[in-house]
Each structure stands twice: as structure tokens, then as C-alpha cells.
Structure 1
């Protein structure tokens, strides 16, 4: 259950919230099999406690390729995927490098799936389900584009373990809440 303005709101995950964001948009029959995602972006505002822990442990986060990090915000450009409203599978080019002293690891090959409420990534040369996506608290949609935001992004146990192991730390075990996400998906309409 989610709380919204003091009253309880039932939520069945990201897909339900995204459905609400595009409810006013007619969904063409072509979407039954999906249509190509053509662009957009996702931002993750680092949770204050996570950002503080990363700084305290001298862990630096930097963008790879088209991904950026600025002012505690991780930004990823969507480079592909499939839109089958209310489900969006978004693929990202680049990723992030986490470094602590001489140790570092990358998080690349990122794919978010709003139906499964998860995100997969390659960490330490293994593709794993690294992220758990919560239900968005805001959204908007129209022909060929949908935005949804204010959703929690957490590391899964596998994501925590991969990052902590690579950096010889326990920061991610103690701070699995990565931050708050917002996504703008563009697709063929």
C-alpha cells in the first residue's frame, strides 16, 4: 500500500502507475505486440543517506558513455526498448563506474522493465537483476511519450552483493535505497 495525501491508495507496482499516466491516451492496436522505444531518459536522484555513505567511504560514482552524474543525480539516456502500454522495457547505453581507491566496478547493460518492476545490469561481468523499481507517484502521457516519476529505486540483494564485493565494502548492504527515479519514454505512436 502507498500513502497519498493521507489516504491509502492501492498499488500493484510500476505497471499500474504507468497505466494511470497514459489512461487518457488511446492505445492503438499496434501496441498489442509492442512498438519500438525511440528515446528518452531516466534520472535517479541519490537518496541523501546513500550519497552521504558514499562520500564517507570515499566511493566515487561517474558516468560511462552517455550516462552522467551531476549534483547527486544519475542520468541515463534511453537508446531502445519496447513500449506495450502500460509496460515499458527501456534499454540504456553506458552506465556507471563505482570506484574506491584502486578498486572499481561498472554497472552497464542496464534494462528497466515496468511490468516486472525490476532493472537488470551487468556488474562484475555478470548480468543480474540489480534494481527493484517502486510504484511512481506521478505521471503524464500522450501520443508517443509517457513520463512517470517519484518512484523508489533500490538495489536488490544481488546488486548490493556485487557492488560491495567489488569495492570491498558494506555500504550498499547498509544503504540499498539508491534513490528516486523519474523516466521520460518516447516511442513510435
Structure 2
């Protein structure tokens, strides 16, 4: 017997659905339903651990892949493959979004990320600090000057920390 592990099809569906939710996920979603087998119950589909191919069908399978009939063997249901099949089915039906099973966005690692650019703005707390920075040819404005010129209130970082402490309180 020649073994052909098939539960990777469910994994392929989830990957394709996460990266390109278009036609490729629809074509990949056909494969999970094809790898299931019905045992005792006509309402529940099971994913076996693997499929076997009779020895006399190996040459035909090599010549024309995926044309020979396979027989389910091994653990039934195969827990890992079954769980992937259930997830793939729920995603296919639209009951679950890829972001809901991947809240950290790890499925997005293949996409190029923009270059990180850190920008720093210096603001003098008072005129004394402004004069000290002018000695080093660093031009800054005070909080009052920014408000007078642009009408924008700029607060120190400690104020932001205090605001975050109260965030979510009722």
C-alpha cells in the first residue's frame, strides 16, 4: 500500500482563504469535502488519517495524479485533520472570519510591511529650556508658542499616561 496524506487540503483551504478570499479559496474549499468519508452516520463527515492506494494503481496515479480511487485508512476521525476540516467548513460558510482565529494577524507575514519611520518632536517646557537648547542650535518652541501660532494644545506624555489609566472605566 502507498499512503497519501490528505488532511493538508484543509490546511491549504485555510491558508488560501486567509491570503486571498477570492476564487482560489472557493476552489480550495472543494477539496476538504472530497477528502471526507461517511461512516455509520450519513449526517457527519469524518476525515481519516490517510488514504491508501492499491499497488496496481500506483503507476496510473503517477501518470495521471488524483485519478485513482483511494481507500481511507488509519485513525477515523483523525483529530488534527478533523479539526482543520471543521474550521475550513465554518470559514467557507461565512460563519467565521480568518481574523477571528488569527487575532494577531500572523497570516499577514507574507505581505510586505512598510518601512518603519520614527519621528520625534522636541518641545521646550519653558523659555529657560528653550534658551539652553538654542545654545546647541536646536530650535524648539514652547507649549504656549505652539498654541498661539497653530491653536493646538500640546500636553506632556505623563498626561497621556493619566488618560490611559482612566480608559475603560465607567
Q: TM-score, normalised by structure 2?
A: 0.18
Q: When you count strand as a share of all residues, which structure comes out higher?
A: 1
Q: Could you say which structure has the higher helix fraction? A: 2
The structure having more radius of gyration, on CA atoms, is 2
Normalising to structure 1: TM-score of the pair?
0.17
